[in-house]
Amino acid sequence: MKDKINSGKLDESTLIIRLATPPVAMAAKRAGENVPQLGFIKAIYDVIFVLSATILALVLAKLTKRMLQGSPTAS
């Protein structure tokens, strides 16, 4: 069973994204709260917003890396 498990590998880009995304997401949320067209952003909790922004950034980074390297997305 352990032969079929592919554990995720932590590389430098993943670490940088994990460290940089939460402060950037909070800054973007605070800036968005002052824009009248984005008034709905005040209703979203900070924890949910930062978590979803971080997960989205990690997924996009992984997909971009796979597209640039030319490896298949699913094996």
In a domain, residue 29? The reply is: yes
In a domain, 6, yes or no: no
Query: Would 64 be classed as within a structural domain?
Result: yes
Cα separation, 61 vs 52, in Å, equals: 14
Q: Which domain holds residue 32?
A: 11-69
Dihedral over Cα of 32, 34, 35, 39: its sign: positive
* pTM of model > 0.75: no
pLDDT per residue as tens, the chain (75 positions)? 667 766 667 778 888 888 999 999 999 999 999 998 988 888 999 999 999 999 999 999 888 888 888 755 554
Residue 1 located in a structural domain: no
State the pLDDT at residue 73.
53
Count structural domains, the chain.
1
The answer to the question of residue 33 being in a domain is yes
Supply the pLDDT for residue 67. 87
Q: Which of 58, 48, 46, 47 is nearest to 21 (CA)?
A: 58
In this structure, is residue 58 part of a structural domain? yes
